[in-house]
Amino acid sequence: AAGRILISACLLGQPVRYDGKGKPLLHSLIEQWKREGRLVAFCPELAGGMSVPRPPAEIEDGLNGEDVLAGRARVLELTGGDVTAAFIDGAGRALKHARDNGCLHALLIDGSPSCGSLAIYDGNFNGVKHAGNGVTAALLRSEGIAVYAPAQIEDLAANLF
């Protein structure tokens, strides 16, 4: 069977982001993979029980998803709410969904405290990013799933089987 790809639901245009919008990735590979039945859409934050819309959230203190999974950092909303548990729960559900659907690769939107895999915001809600993984990207990577950002879609295509 063709290799399947777990994909951030918002990248397919599903209106699941904190601001109630999607962020569709317009690329011929997306259309090709849709036709081939490779894409498995998933939103870790919705799966973890978050609603739409929701306040923006960031991982605190310039830390990253690995720190959240290890209990060293929290995920906090701009409004002060602690959503750490929901983010960890959503990451676990993303991993299970990937495994249940045979996804060895994931294409996740960058910059998100869940899905980011190249850079994430630093926890100060001032638009500053640093290199690092969101919570779901960190968990998937630690479990051997290859995570790609949209900027790396050609690399994903080259490594797909």
Q: Which residues here bind ligand SF4, judged by CB under 6 A? A: 8-10, 16-17, 43-45, 109, 112, 114-115
Q: How far is the CB of 24 from ligand SF4 (least distance, A)?
A: 11
- Residue 111, exposed/middle/buried by CB under 10 A (0-12, 13-18, 19+)? middle
Q: How far is the CB of 138 from ligand SF4 (least distance, A)?
A: 13
Q: How far is the CB of 114 from ligand SF4 (least distance, A)?
A: 4
Nearer to ligand SF4, 1 or 30 (CB): 30
| Residue in the structure block whose two tokens are 């998100």 | 112
Nearer to ligand SF4, 98 or 158 (CB): 98
Nearer to ligand SF4, 12 or 104 (CB): 12
Nearer to ligand SF4, 94 or 161 (CB): 94
- The CA–CA distances, whole Å, from 112 to 1, 4, 33, 94, 160 equal 31, 22, 23, 15, 24
Say how far apart CA 14 and CA 43 lie, in whole Å.
9
Say how far apart CA 35 and CA 127 lie, in whole Å.
36
Q: How far is the CB of 28 from ligand SF4 (least distance, A)?
A: 21
